[in-house]
Amino acid sequence: MRIPNDKNKVLIVGAGSSGIAAIKEALEVGLDPIAYEASSGVGGAWRYNEDPGDCQVRFDKQGWATFASPSESNSLVPPPSPMYDSLKTNVPTSLMRYRGSQFPPQVVN
């Protein structure tokens, strides 16, 4: 095992599914990762937020709709997650989990 030093440090931007995988891989090769995440916890698009804020809908002259959250204009606040309370996926949880990890018991397979 290598002792971490400045040459072994690596920055991971975001702690969603890709960021977590990058952290795991960095650790496996002896790097010293640090992750920066804009939201209050890990999970990225899969992190459910009970109160994502208001959604603004605007229509252009051709009738096309544009959806935006007020937080999207603030670079310090992440936009709302696409996760919602009654979301069901068509992908088995066994394919969505990380190798060697299990989902919490309350997650339905």
Kindly report, residue by residue over 87-107, the tens digit of the pLDDT: 777 888 778 877 777 777 877
DSSP 100: T
Q: Quote the pTM value.
A: 0.63
Tens digit of each residue's pLDDT (9 = 90 or more) over 13-30: 999 889 999 999 999 999
Rounded-to-10 torsion of CA 44, 50, 51, 52: 30
The answer to whether residue 103 is domain-embedded is: no
The answer to whether residue 105 is domain-embedded is: no
Judge whether 84 and 52 are in contact, CB under 8 Å.
no
The answer to whether residue 32 is domain-embedded is: yes
Q: What angle do CA 10, 12, 13 make, to 5 degrees?
A: 145
Tens digit of each residue's pLDDT (9 = 90 or more) over 36-81: 988 878 888 778 777 766 777 889 999 998 877 665 555 566 667 7
Give the tokens for residue 54.
Answer: 């208001």
The answer to whether residue 23 is domain-embedded is: yes
The answer to whether residue 13 is domain-embedded is: yes
The answer to whether residue 108 is domain-embedded is: no
More confident residue, 20 or 1: 20
Domain that holds residue 44: 6-96
Number of domains in the chain: 1
